[in-house]
Every structure is written in C-alpha cells, then in structure tokens.
C-alpha cells in the first residue's frame, strides 16, 4: 500500500505549518481508526468483559465490589490501552507512511504528540465515558464514581504517552506484543497506584488534592518527555529495519 499522500515529503516552501501538520495527522489517524472498526472496538469490548466477568470469578458481594471496584476498573482500563498500543505505529510502518513522517520538516516530537492524542481519543476517552456505567455495576458510590472518572481522564493520556515509547521500541519485532507488555507495565504501576488510591481516599472522605496534583504532574511529565523518547525510538527502529 502506498504511503499516505498527506505524509509525502515536500519542500520547506510547500510544507504546511507545524500546527497544520499536527491537525492533518490527527484527523487522518481518526479517519483511519474509524475505518478499522475492529481495532477500535476490541479495547472497549475487552474493558467491558473484564469488568463484567470479575464479579463472577471472584465475588459478587456488594461490600467487596465497592471496595475493589476502582481497582478493577483501573486494571481493566490499563490492559485495554495496552491491547491497543501495538497498532499505534504498526499500520504506518507497514505501508511506509512512518518513514515519510520521520522525514517531514516539522518537529517529530509534535507529530508523535498528535498521533498519541488521536490514539487517546479513540481508545482512552471511550473508556472514560464508559466507566460510570461499569462503576455502577461494581457498586461504586457517587463520590467515588466521580473521582474514578476524573482519575481516568487524567491517567489514560499518561498510559497512551508512556505506551507510545514501548510501541516505537518494539516496532518491527516478532512477538512485539509480549515484549511491549514487559517494557510498559512496570512504568504503568505508579499511575495505577495513585489512580486507585485517589478513589479510595475519596470513598473514605479523606483529602484528595495531593493525589490529583501528583497525577497532574505525571501527565505534565508524560506530555513533556514521552514524545521525545518516542521520536528517538522511532528513528532507532527505522534505522534497524
């Protein structure tokens, strides 16, 4: 399949501005995602199945589910994002678009940021929107439910940004999914701990300002540093292919 015409290298005089290129790439990735509905629906279906089956496999007691509900939803969201990461750069790598992307005159940092944002919109944001329904299923109360949605809204972009580093490093490798999990899951643990800890503190009536501030700091660090690491990993992967 030929490279996407929107990504063909142009001379500096003909190339769009940086934000124009980011917008074009973001919209292109959204269009591609909605054409490939299987890749779009798999993380959502996985999220729903994990949360739905957990009470059947462990315990349906209301007291247990209300205590463990935030952890169940956070782990399910983490695994759902992880499931979708292999496709973040894979299709562009296979059809040659990724090479054209790296050769663009615009900053690869910002182009990677646009691709990661598109990935979060089609993967992480639906999980956030779906979490209130599944939160009611595991008997989370109003305050805990609202805090769960807030922590997922802050935390899922961090999962996508960190995951993009692993997706770039494992690009073109056999058994990339297994290696990606081994690389990324340890980096997800702090986000998981503070995400579930925030909901637990809210359920007990404790102050949650410090938790939210730390999660916000994670997001700022991820937005600032992860695209640089991803861009470097993409160049390494392409040079070795």
pLDDT tens digit at each of 241 positions of the chain: 444 544 444 444 445 577 888 899 999 999 988 888 787 888 899 999 999 888 888 877 888 888 888 899 999 999 999 988 988 888 888 888 888 888 888 888 999 999 999 999 999 999 999 999 999 888 888 788 999 999 999 999 999 999 999 999 888 777 777 788 888 999 999 999 999 999 989 888 888 999 999 999 999 999 999 999 999 999 988 887 6
pTM comes to: 0.88
**CA 90/CA 204 separation, integer angstroms:** 43
Alpha-carbon distances of 83 from 4, 116, 212, rounded to whole Å: 25, 15, 26
Neighbour count for residue 214 (Cβ, 10 Å): 17
Angle of helix 176-204 versus helix 209-240 axis, rounded to 10 = 170
Of 185, 118, 192, give the one whose Cα is nearest residue 155: 192
Question: What does the chain come to in residues?
Answer: 241
Neighbour count for residue 46 (Cβ, 10 Å): 17
């Amino acid at each position: 399949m030929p490279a996407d015409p929107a990504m063909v290298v142009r001379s500096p005089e003909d190339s769009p501005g940086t934000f124009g290129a980011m917008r074009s790439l973001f919209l292109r990735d959204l269009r591609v995602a909605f054409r490939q509905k299987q890749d779009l629906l798999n993380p959502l279906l996985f999220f729903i199945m994990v949360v739905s089956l957990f009470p059947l496999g462990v315990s349906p007691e209301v007291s247990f589910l209300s205590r463990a509900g935030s952890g169940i939803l956070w782990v399910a969201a983490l695994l759902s994002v992880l499931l979708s990461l292999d496709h973040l750069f894979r299709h562009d790598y296979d059809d040659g678009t990724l090479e054209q992307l790296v050769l663009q005159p615009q900053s690869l940092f910002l182009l990677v940021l646009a691709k990661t944002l598109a990935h979060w919109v089609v993967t992480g944001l639906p999980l956030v929107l779906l979490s209130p329904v599944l939160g009611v299923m595991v008997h989370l109360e109003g305050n805990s439910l609202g805090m769960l949605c807030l922590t997922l809204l802050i935390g899922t972009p961090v999962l996508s940004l960190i995951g993009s580093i692993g997706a770039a490093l494992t690009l073109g490798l056999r058994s990339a999914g297994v290696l990606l999990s081994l690389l990324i899951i340890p980096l997800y643990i702090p986000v998981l701990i503070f995400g579930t800890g925030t909901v637990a503190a809210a359920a007990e009536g404790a102050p949650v300002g410090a938790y939210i501030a730390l999660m916000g700091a994670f997001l700022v660090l991820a937005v600032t540093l992860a695209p640089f690491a991803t861009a470097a990993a993409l160049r390494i992967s392409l040079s070795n292919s």
